[in-house]
Copies of this chain bind each other. A is one copy, B any other.
Amino acid sequence: MPGNLAVVGGGAPAPALATGAGNASPTFSPLYQQIKALITQSLQSGEWKPGELIPSEVELAMRFKVSQGTVRKAIDELSAENLVVRRQGKGTFVATHHEARAQFRFLRLESDSGETHYPDNRIIDVKRLRAPAEIARSLDIKSGDSVIFIKRIQSFDGAATIIDELWLPGLLFKGLTAERLIEYKGPMYGLFETEFGTRMIRASERVRAIGADADAAALLAIACDTPLLSVERISYSYGDRPVEVRRSLYLTSRHHYQNELG
């Protein structure tokens, strides 16, 4: 009896899955997509935390009452989206920002010479404030809602190269203080993930060229009107929920923004 389980009314205890193949319901989706959604829910809810091992394919297949191949296809997509990482012989792990591997997915600035060590961070300012209209719109919150503002400088080899200004929803990052940010070693997204349970999944960037204003010029130790890369980023967590607005200025005299067009 090949074919489906959650389908035609098939076998045993009806799984929590909506209709499989052979269905014409308006909300139809393939079984593996439903499995993928269920796994994503467990990731989002924190049932399996970043860095942890998730259940094996066989185990998940039993739990969801589908074949291993179907679970496999679901995990394949999650892996392609960088939500999980597969390791042959060991298992499948929840992706985390605490890895050299993940660092550069969200930092496209590279040294012209090729060697790209991780930059030093210096926090300049951290404060709570009411969200300006435009920030609120990007974060999908109400104008005037509490947001946390962070300003910092990143340096390569001692040379100030990046000015970052971040806005985070106050609700999600309640206990975030300057001290915590300063004492923390490692990537900021790692801190957000472990301390606040918010994981950045993907981001969208708008890149422009602008001239340095007086403030930027002072911070980067360059002349006013020096051309800089302006990078406006919105980062999203599970469920395409926007959780960070970041406006950065990149000094590109010895570095460049690297991008691959597939």
Contact = CB atoms under 8 A, between A and B. Distances in A.
A256 B206 contact: yes
A206 B256 CA distance: 6
A194 B204 CA distance: 34
A259 B66 CA distance: 37
Contacts of A82: 262
Interface in A109-134: none
Contacts of A228: 209, 227
Interface string A189-230: 000000000000011111111110000000000000101110
A211 B229 contact: no
A211 B225 CA distance: 9
Interface in A213-262: 225, 227-229, 232-233, 250, 252, 256-262
Contacts of A202: 260-262
Contact of A207 (B204, B206, B207): B207
A239 to B, nearest CB: 16
A108 interface: yes
